[in-house]
């Protein structure tokens, strides 16, 4: 039986997934981390949690978070990040520039790649760095 909550795919299996497929996975990984981070702060009403989550997961914010964690990336992780940044996106939301959207997609692709490899500890290390003031 597969454990979809804690994935452990091979690199060959992950290489078969498109860059945008990795970003699709990483999008939800990043959102669940943001939701957990905000809930752990305590004392917030659900509407406040929702607004703060939306603010954290938008492309402009993700681009800033990506800048914070870039210096920590290994050569392999940086290659995945670049692969995600170069993914051919069809449209860019109005609130973000093409460059910001590319950085956000790269961040999501990297998190998706790490998640599918089963590297939750590494994801947590990078997320902690992103949340530093």
108, 87 in Cβ contact below 8 A?
A: no
Q: How far is CA 26 from its chain centroid?
A: 5
Q: Which two tokens stand for residue 88?
A: 């051919």
Residue among 15, 27, 47, 67 flagged as catalytic: 27
Q: Is 15 assigned a catalytic role?
A: no
CA distances from 129 to 12, 55, 70 (A): 29, 18, 10
Which residues are part of the catalytic machinery? Answer: 27
């Amino acid at each position: 039986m597969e454990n979809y909550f804690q994935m452990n795919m091979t690199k060959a299996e992950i290489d078969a997934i498109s860059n945008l497929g990795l970003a699709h996975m990483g999008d939800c990984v990043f959102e669940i981390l943001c939701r957990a981070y905000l809930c752990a702060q305590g004392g917030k009403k659900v509407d406040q949690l929702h607004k703060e989550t939306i603010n954290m997961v938008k492309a402009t914010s993700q681009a800033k978070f990506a800048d914070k964690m870039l210096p920590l990336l290994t050569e392999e992780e940086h290659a995945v990040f670049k692969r995600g940044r170069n993914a051919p996106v069809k449209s860019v939301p109005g609130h973000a520039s093409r460059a910001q959207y590319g950085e956000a997609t790269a961040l999501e692709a990297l998190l998706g790649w790490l998640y599918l490899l089963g590297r939750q500890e590494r994801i947590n290390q990078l997320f902690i760095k992103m949340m530093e003031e």
